[in-house]
Structure 1
Amino acid sequence: MKYIKDINIKDKKIVLRLDLNVPIKNGVILDDTKIVKSLETIKYLLDNNCHILMMSHLGKIKTEDDLKGNSLKNVCERLSELLNKKIVFIENPVDSKIPYILNENQLVLLENTRYMDYPDKKESNCDLELAKFWSSAGEVFINDAFGTSHRKHASNYGISKYLDSCYGLLFYKELEGLKPVIGDNVNHPFTVIMGGAKVDDKINLIKSLLKKCDYLLVGGGIANTFLKAKGYNIGTSLLNEEVLTNVKNMINNYADKIILPDDVTVLRNDKVITCNIQDVKDNDTIYDIGDKTIKKYQSLIDESTTIFINGTMGLYEDERFEIGTKKVLTALAESKATTIAGGGDAVSSINKFNLADGFDFLSTGGGATLEYITDEKINCFEDAL
């Protein structure tokens, strides 16, 4: 796969795949990091007098109701503000004007590509007719959406079959920024900190990471499933029961690597309480790690040479349960180790606590980052990288 600076894009019509999948609540963008990071490639293309059809997904579209809350219209407005340029917004992803839209418009943003997932999953199943239609708007395809690089969708892998293709400036930065956690580049001790809500969609990735890392520090909802697998009571906390057997096997096989919380912060009868993990009661709900666990994790962070974090230690959006995430991130930011964060929640929490300057690299990818670290392959380019 070629790099944007290795091909002639002067005066070309460009189909540009971005990752503008930002968190939005009640129509308000909560974190515009991905939008801001997309600007460099867009400005580079504008400097080369390109006309650009931009496209991205937003959320998951499984039902008709999902269409209402996942429009890119607000994203378009924010992008227009940041660029200080008019952007034409196309509400229908298969509008008949698309093949000709760049003839008279320099900047165009297509509505959420995953609108085409309802009802037939044409985007996610890489419908080649859809990809061919989208590709008809341009002369060159640029993939700058590292966050979807682990998928073969119509808007990335599909379009690349019909146009001269390359990856953009942000994609390049992702590949360079992740080098310290890839293959023989990793300096040990290598610690992975894994948080977030659910373990079921990360189970195979965690297995692969356990083969590479020296320590796996577990927090968030993921820790609940690990604690339950060890026989602890987790009360009414979030649990992925269907993967308990898999998690038990991992704990047995990597007991020396997997580090779990010793104490947790729970909501008990509407009161916030920190207790040892053995003292969690049936009606407790775990929302954060406790002070003992924070100190234990800080100690292992101090011992590490390379650290990768994905997810958070608890419900950091609620001030009552932000301490674990804040203190672990602060320890990372102050560490002498090479520190890399990947995934929306990890990056959002780092930004919330103003700790970005303390990290060596913040990846815009979530699952894509994890899969690249474990498989060391970019699926949407097959074996090109």
Structure 2
Amino acid sequence: MLNDRFLPDDDVRLVRSVAVDAPADEVYEAIRPAQIGDDQLLAAATWLRELPQMALSFLQSGDREPIAPDTTVGDLLDHPACVPLAEAPGREIVVGLVGRFWNPLELVESLTPERFLAHTGSGAKGVVSLSIHERHGDNCLLVLEARARGLDETGRQRLSRWTGFVKPVLGLLARRVLDVIRTDAEDGRSARVPTPTPTEVEAASGLLATIDDAELTDRRVLLRVDVNEPVEDGRIVGRDRLQAAADTIQTLLDRGAGVVVLAHQGRPGREDFLDLGQHAAILDERLAVPVDHVEAIDDDRALEAAGSVAPGEVLLLGNVRRAEGEMSDISPGGHARRDWVQAVASRVDVFVNEAFPACHRSHASLVGFPELLPALAGPGLLAELEALERVGRQDEPRVAVLGGAKPGASLDAMAYQLARDRVDEVLVGGLLAASFLEADGVNTGQGTRALLEEHGYREHGRQARSLFDTYGDRIRLPTDVAVHRNGDRFEVPVDELPARGRIRDIGKDTADSFADHANDAGTLLVHGPMGVYEETPYDRGTHRVFSAAGKADAYSVIGGGHTVQAITQLGVPRDRFDHVSLAGGALLSALAGEDLPAVEALRSREGPVQRGAGE
């Protein structure tokens, strides 16, 4: 890449990418004329997040007036502060910046590429590139990469502080610029190119390195998995995540690696917070080799065992949530400085993250190791990201079925998906539906209201009202519900509420209507049951809607812990869905457009794995 010529070493790097259903030459032609000035998100991010003067000046041509509606990507590339460094027609454009980025008045202007290379002194240097990478058929990957390096110690410190403040916003802006270019390039096509295959996940993963990119023979792999299963009376009763972990372990073994496994079960102080002995036994049953287990992380016995794992062997360490500071919400660099993280890292060669259900957390075992080791994304994590990317780009109508008992997280996801037209309509059940009914002025009854209060209705009720006011024509609420009264199920029209008894399910008319909408969908996203599916007869709504979703001729993604439990309990075959996600909180965070810290920690850590086990 051309930017390697101008800034091979950097202190800060940001990479965003997007898959484009258009040939490389058409994407290249769409870059400069792509209009970003009328993008509301770009304008809002600029003003509402109070970017430092550099970002304001850069996006507003230095006059502090709102960004002009006809501003294009070409205008940014030709900005006086940018040094035109190089261009490979049809492939890559690179511009540079020199000076104190945190103070636009001190940028050095009108440099030649030669002077850029030779420039030293104070402040910082930066390069920004837009590059196009051809893929299978007539589609490609468009990548925006920004690098920066401090020119002296003061510059490095100021650059670090500045980027720490603005990097999340700059990442959002970069993604929006890419989205605008992609839209223009794809709209210019005479015919649609087929959607990228499931292995083409760069749009979601942002150029993550994968196990396919690495030579793992004779390497010792530290594999982080999520085997956090349901627990009853101290016994593990779930198997879904354990089976997924076993599949990945076997894949690594087949590639000639030795595997050291890190995992957690439950949270400290809860009944499901257990040692991992049961997990080791279950994995042992599912693998072709024995699974050794040490219920510790960094004592002498655990470290000696980890450092002795040979190719073809598997070791499961103890519950990582017992490790000091594992669950602290601090930076990856801070976690990487922990003694136990460094001790474990010194016994292995490469880190693989396969714990997508936990990727919304900035925990030490998720974000610390990529600071110390070559870091790769596991196949299951990539499959999750690819499915999420495809949901917003598959056939219309795109229908989301949202329910469950956590309205707050679901509302955030709904707001993001509706605002960006990633879904055309939302079918709402569960306690989430009760939130909307209350927000719409319906008295759901004393029992249901008490349950809503337990789940924070005072906080999210206003959000539900706002969403319904804005997108009411795309949000489908129940027209009838089922209540529990004297041990029996009674169905009540919504306009006759309140009724005696707490709402436990959607009614038959609503279930039939939702099933019809699901059957007509081109794309389906399902998260959360429609009612209390654990209890008969309040499982009827969930069974009716989920069965219809499984039979629909649509690209379908279903996810969430209770959702997966529901299809298992109700006998809805999993293979009817294109993707079954084992994630709950991480899935909703991703659907709400939030960065996943553990995924972000992998983004700039790609590269071939060369070091052998024990070196």
Work out whether the TM-score is over 0.5: yes
Q: Give the match's secondary structure for 2:473.
A: coil
1:26 to 209, 225, 233: 233
Quote the offset at 1:85 in angstroms.
3.5
Which sits farther off after the overlay, 89-98 or 233-242? 89-98
CA distance in 1, matches of 2:502, 2:425: 26
Residue 57 of structure 1: aligned partner: 264
| 8 Å contact from structure 1 (residues 333, 358) kept in 2 | yes
2:385 to 168, 171, 175: 175
The code of the aligned residue for 1:241 comes to Y
Residue 193 of structure 1: aligned partner: 401
Matching of residue 78 in structure 1 with residue 282 in structure 2: yes
CA distance in 1, matches of 2:470, 2:572: 38
| 8 Å contact from structure 2 (residues 437, 477) kept in 1 | yes
CA distance in 1, matches of 2:407, 2:295: 35
The code of the aligned residue for 2:573 comes to L
CA distance in 2, matches of 1:299, 1:201: 26
Quote the offset at 1:317 in angstroms.
1.4
Residue 48 of structure 1: aligned partner: 255
Which sits farther off after the overlay, 101-110 or 319-328? 101-110
Residue 297 of structure 1: aligned partner: 514
Give the TM-score, by structure 1 length.
Answer: 0.90
Quote the offset at 1:78 in angstroms.
1.1
Residue 345 of structure 1: aligned partner: 562
Residue 145 of structure 1: aligned partner: 355
| 8 Å contact from structure 1 (residues 152, 379) kept in 2 | yes
Residue 336 of structure 1: aligned partner: 553
CA distance in 2, matches of 1:314, 1:74: 32
Q: Give the match's secondary structure for 1:370.
A: helix
Distance 1:131 1:222, change over 3 A: farther
Distance 1:15 1:357, change over 3 A: same
RMSD: 2.3
Which sits farther off after the overlay, 173-182 or 258-267? 173-182
| 8 Å contact from structure 1 (residues 233, 280) kept in 2 | yes
Q: Give the match's secondary structure for 2:531.
A: coil
CA distance in 2, matches of 1:6, 1:233: 57
Q: Give the match's secondary structure for 1:365.
A: coil
Quote the offset at 1:58 in angstroms.
2.3
Q: Give the match's secondary structure for 1:265.
A: strand
Residue 371 of structure 1: aligned partner: 589
1:6 to 208, 213, 216: 213
The code of the aligned residue for 1:2 comes to A
Quote the offset at 1:49 in angstroms.
3.5
Structure 1, unpaired ranges of 5+: none
Residue 457 of structure 2: aligned partner: 241
The code of the aligned residue for 1:369 comes to L
| 8 Å contact from structure 2 (residues 402, 410) kept in 1 | no
CA distance in 1, matches of 2:402, 2:431: 10
The code of the aligned residue for 1:359 comes to F
Alignment deviations for residues 147-170 of structure 1 (CA, whole Å, 9 cap, x no partner):
122322211111111111101122
Structure 2, unpaired ranges of 5+: 1-207, 605-615
| 8 Å contact from structure 1 (residues 233, 282) kept in 2 | no
Residue 277 of structure 1: aligned partner: 494
Identity of aligned residues (%): 28
Which sits farther off after the overlay, 129-138 or 326-335? 129-138
CA distance in 2, matches of 1:179, 1:99: 39
Quote the offset at 1:326 in angstroms.
0.6
| 8 Å contact from structure 2 (residues 528, 563) kept in 1 | yes
Q: Give the match's secondary structure for 2:407.
A: coil
Alignment deviations for residues 3-30 of structure 1 (CA, whole Å, 9 cap, x no partner):
1021111111111001112212223433
Quote the offset at 1:337 in angstroms.
1.4
| 8 Å contact from structure 2 (residues 326, 364) kept in 1 | no
Quote the offset at 1:227 in angstroms.
1.4
Quote the offset at 1:341 in angstroms.
0.6
CA distance in 1, matches of 2:437, 2:391: 27
Residue 246 of structure 2: aligned partner: 39
| 8 Å contact from structure 1 (residues 53, 137) kept in 2 | no
| 8 Å contact from structure 2 (residues 523, 554) kept in 1 | yes
Matching of residue 321 in structure 1 with residue 554 in structure 2: no
CA distance in 1, matches of 2:468, 2:217: 55
Give the TM-score, by structure 2 length.
Answer: 0.58
| 8 Å contact from structure 1 (residues 233, 278) kept in 2 | no
The code of the aligned residue for 1:304 comes to A
Distance 1:220 1:70, change over 3 A: farther
Quote the offset at 1:328 in angstroms.
0.4
CA distance in 2, matches of 1:58, 1:206: 29
The code of the aligned residue for 1:309 comes to V
CA distance in 2, matches of 1:94, 1:282: 57
Which sits farther off after the overlay, 334-343 or 22-31? 22-31
Matching of residue 230 in structure 1 with residue 447 in structure 2: no
Distance 1:102 1:203, change over 3 A: same
Residue 130 of structure 2: aligned partner: none
Distance 1:41 1:294, change over 3 A: same
CA distance in 2, matches of 1:227, 1:93: 49
- Name which structure has the greater RCO, CA cutoff 8 Å, separation 6+: 1
Residue 362 of structure 1: aligned partner: 580
Distance 1:376 1:67, change over 3 A: closer
Point out the structure with max Rg over C-alpha: 2
Quote the offset at 1:139 in angstroms.
1.1
Distance 1:68 1:38, change over 3 A: closer
The code of the aligned residue for 1:88 comes to D
CA distance in 1, matches of 2:329, 2:565: 26
Residue 296 of structure 2: aligned partner: 92
CA distance in 1, matches of 2:424, 2:589: 18
